[in-house]
Amino acid sequence: MTSTSNAEAHDARTPATQTHDVEIDNSNRSTTPDSAAFLGFIMSGWAEPAAAEIAPRPAASFTPARRAALSAAFPGKRLVIAAGAMKQRSNDTFYVYRAHSAFSHLTGWGSDAEPGALLVAEPTAEGHDFTLFFRERAGRDSEEFFANPEIGEFWIGARPSLAQVAQDLGLPTRSLGEFVAGADDLTLDDAELARAASELRLVKDAFELAEMQAAVDATERGFVDVLASLPRASSAPRGERVVEGVFNARARLDGNTVGYETIAASGPNACTLHWIRNDGEVREGDLLLLDAGIELDSLYTADITRTVPVTGTFSEVQRRVYEAVLEAADAAFAVVKPGIRFREVHEAAMAVIERKTREWGFLPERDEANTAFHRRYMVHGTSHHLGLDVHDCAQARRELYLDGVLEPGMVFTIEPGLYFQSDDLTVPAEYRGIGVRIEDDVVVTADGYVNLSANIPRSADAVEAWVREAQGR
pLDDT along the chain (473 residues), means of 10: 43 63 85 90 88 88 98 98 96 94 98 97 97 90 85 87 95 96 96 98 98 98 98 97 98 98 98 97 97 98 98 97 98 98 98 98 96 98 98 97 98 98 98 98 98 98 97 85
Where do runs of H (alpha helix) occur along 58-130? 63-73, 101-107
Among candidate residues 150, 148, 116, 152, the one with its CA nearest the CA of residue 133: 116
Are the CB atoms for 1 and 132 separated by under 8 Å? no
d(CA 262, CA 266): 13
206-470: which CATH topology?
Answer: Creatine Amidinohydrolase (3.90.230)
Taking the CA atoms of the chain, what radius of gyration do you get in angstroms? 25
Angle at the Cα of 257 from the Cα atoms of 109 and 114, rounded to 5 degrees: 30
Q: How many CB atoms lie within 10 A of CB 89?
A: 10
* pTM metric for this prediction: 0.94
Listed by start position, the domains of the chain span 7-199, 206-470
pLDDT of amino acid 80:
98
The pLDDT of residue 5: 40
CA gap 127, 79 in Å, rounded: 12
**What pLDDT is attached to residue 3?**
43
Helices and strands in the chain: count of H runs, count of E runs: 12, 17
- The CATH number that domain 7-199 falls under is 3.40.350
* Neighbour tally for 68: CB within 10 Å: 12
List strand residue ranges (DSSP E) for 208-249, in order: none
**Which DSSP symbol is given to 143?**
T
Sequence-distant contacts of 98-104: CB under 8 A, at least 24 apart? 98/7, 98/299, 99/10, 99/299, 100/7, 100/8, 100/10, 100/12, 100/188, 101/7, 101/8, 101/201, 101/299, 101/388, 101/389, 101/392, 102/8, 102/188, 102/194, 102/197, 102/198, 104/298, 104/299, 104/388
